[in-house]
């Protein structure tokens, strides 16, 4: 069975109208088979606990909810990624202990608003910093970490991905590059298709193209999955 994943990034009450529009358009195509990366307190101004209706929308609409940083903003230092991604590379500004505390803090918020811990982690700006899978890494807090090129689990399982992304930072035209990278990796059979969707994709005019790609994958026989689902053995593997 060929699978693909649709993952909504930057899920925060700050973008509630955009999140609702994305879910509204995807639900007839995918049902609840959507992964959502939720930010516990966007830029320190949008705490999830203060927006129960938004949390309910996410919980009712998605089969999988990921921890997506904590503030989604870097608070110390800077680098090339900070400039390109408008300072969203939160994890790059944290040392190992700060990373651990950030994950713990995020999980406490998830328990409060969703009633369960997040199984997966999605680093803001694809920059995982000191988040690691394996001994001494993120396995104490999450079961798997989503990267641009691969999904990695704490058990050592690694799944190659062909990721499309359209919000590539400061300049909207970079979305065409993000689309091209996903298309090329998919054409070369370099991984399972993943559509990384951001609220700004609507503002920047990429939403019709994203919906068209989703529909094209479904027509070609791809079945929607979650990240956790990609790490589970298929029926064929179980039979062996």
In Å, how far from its chain's centre is CA 207? Answer: 17
State mean pLDDT over 118-147: 85
At 218, the pLDDT band (50, 70, 90 cuts) reads very high
CA distance 149 to 133: 15
The yes-or-no verdict on residue 76 having pLDDT over 50 is: yes
What are the boundaries of each domain within the chain? 3-239
**Contact residues for 26 (Cβ-Cβ < 8 A; gap 6+):** 6, 34, 211, 214
At 134, the pLDDT band (50, 70, 90 cuts) reads low
Tokens of 106: 């995020």
CATH code of the region 3-239: 3.20.20.370
Eight-class DSSP state of 132 = -
Phi, psi of 193 (to 5 degrees): -65, 135
How do the residues of the chain divide into helix, strand and coil, expressed in percent and rounded to 5? 45, 20, 35
CA distance 166 to 174: 7
In this predicted model, what pLDDT tens digit does every residue of 186-203 receive, in sequence order?
999 999 999 999 999 999
State mean pLDDT over 114-141: 85
At 38, the pLDDT band (50, 70, 90 cuts) reads very high
The confidence score (pLDDT) of residue 85 equals: 84
E strand or H helix at 25 = helix 16-30
**Contact residues for 69 (Cβ-Cβ < 8 A; gap 6+):** 39, 40, 90, 91, 102, 106, 122, 123, 124
The yes-or-no verdict on residue 240 having pLDDT over 80 is: no
């Amino acid at each position: 069975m060929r699978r693909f994943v649709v993952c909504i990034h930057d899920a925060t009450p700050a973008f509630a109208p955009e999140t609702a529009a994305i879910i509204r358009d995807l639900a007839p195509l995918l049902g609840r088979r959507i992964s959502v990366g939720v930010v516990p307190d966007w830029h320190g101004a949008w705490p999830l606990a203060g927006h129960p209706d938004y949390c309910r929308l996410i919980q009712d609409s998605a089969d999988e909810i990921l921890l997506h940083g904590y503030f989604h903003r870097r608070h110390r230092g800077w680098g090339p990624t900070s400039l390109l991604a408008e300072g969203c590379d939160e994890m790059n500004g944290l040392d190992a202990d700060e990373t651990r505390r950030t994950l713990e803090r995020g999980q406490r918020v998830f328990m409060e608003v969703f009633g369960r811990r997040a199984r997966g982690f999605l680093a803001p700006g694809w920059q995982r910093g000191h988040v690691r899978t394996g001994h001494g890494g993120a396995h104490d807090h999450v079961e798997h970490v989503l990267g641009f090129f691969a999904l990695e689990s704490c058990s050592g399982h690694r799944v190659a991905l062909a990721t499309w992304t359209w919000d590539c930072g400061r300049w909207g035209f970079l979305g065409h590059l993000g689309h091209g990278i996903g298309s090329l990796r998919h054409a070369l059979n370099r991984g399972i298709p993943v559509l990384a969707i951001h609220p700004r994709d609507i503002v920047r005019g990429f939403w019709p193209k994203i919906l068209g790609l989703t529909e094209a994958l479904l027509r070609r026989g791809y079945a929607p999955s979650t990240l956790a689902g990609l790490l589970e053995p298929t029926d064929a593997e179980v039979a062996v």
